[in-house]
């Protein structure tokens, strides 16, 4: 229904499970394509994402296995829906701490550990964007200046 409303067409008709359009006129056509992105976790919601969404935006909550399991479900549901799973962009919200000491878990440790973990998430399950939610002085600067360039270089090297 959202895509129809953005289409610029007149006399729109849609009969869904929850919403209906009967002779509606769309508003102004967006200046550029607007994707439909879902930040979902459950099996049914992941199936919906795989069928219709342009992107998926989960948040890392400390359990990398959970993210990998959801990614596998998304890929399987996309294939079952006749879509190439790579058509669905993946953005991961991250929390953690960039430190100078030893690693104390996923996304908690030195730049080299962050680089390896984010590279694995880009090359494996196909996340192409990472959004940092971090507290603490200097975390954003370290992420932008140290982690991001290192991840880009390592992903490029692994993909070549």
Residues 51, 24: Cα–Cα separation, whole Å: 25
The per-residue pLDDT for range 104-147, each reduced to its tens digit, is 999 999 999 999 999 999 999 999 999 999 888 899 999 999 99
Contacts of 147 (CB under 8 A, 6+ apart): 98, 111, 114, 115, 118
DSSP designation for 35: -
pTM: 0.84
How confident is the model over 41-72, as pLDDT tens digits?
999 999 999 999 999 999 998 889 999 999 99
Q: What is the pLDDT of residues 70-110, one digit of tens each?
A: 999 999 999 999 999 999 999 999 999 999 999 999 999 99
CA distance 114 to 103: 9
Contact predicate 117/95, CB 8 Å: no
Nearest to 49 by CA among 15, 21, 75, 19: 75
**pLDDT, tens digit, for every residue of 22-36?**
888 888 888 998 899
The yes or no reply on domain 40-159 and CATH 3.20.20.30 is: yes
pLDDT of residue 25: 83
Q: Are 26 and 7 in contact (CB under 8 A)?
A: yes
Q: What percent of the chain has pLDDT over 70?
A: 100
Q: Where are the domains of the chain?
A: 1-34, 40-159
């Amino acid at each position: 229904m959202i895509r129809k409303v953005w289409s610029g067409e007149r006399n729109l008709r849609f009969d869904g499970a929850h919403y209906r359009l009967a002779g509606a006129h769309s508003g102004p056509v967006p200046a550029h394509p607007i994707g439909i992105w879902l930040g979902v976790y459950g099996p049914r919601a992941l199936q919906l994402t795989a069928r219709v969404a342009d992107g998926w935006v989960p948040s890392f909550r400390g359990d990398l296995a959970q993210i990998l399991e959801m990614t596998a479900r998304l890929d399987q549901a996309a294939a079952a829906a006749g879509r190439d799973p790579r058509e669905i962009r993946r953005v991961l919200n991250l929390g953690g701490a960039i430190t100078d000491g030893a690693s104390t878990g996923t996304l908690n440790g030195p730049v080299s550990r962050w680089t390896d973990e984010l590279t694995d998430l880009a090359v494996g399950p196909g996340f192409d964007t990472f959004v940092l939610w971090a507290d603490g002085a200097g975390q954003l600067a370290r992420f932008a200046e140290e982690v991001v360039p290192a991840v880009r270089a390592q992903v490029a090297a692994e993909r070549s």
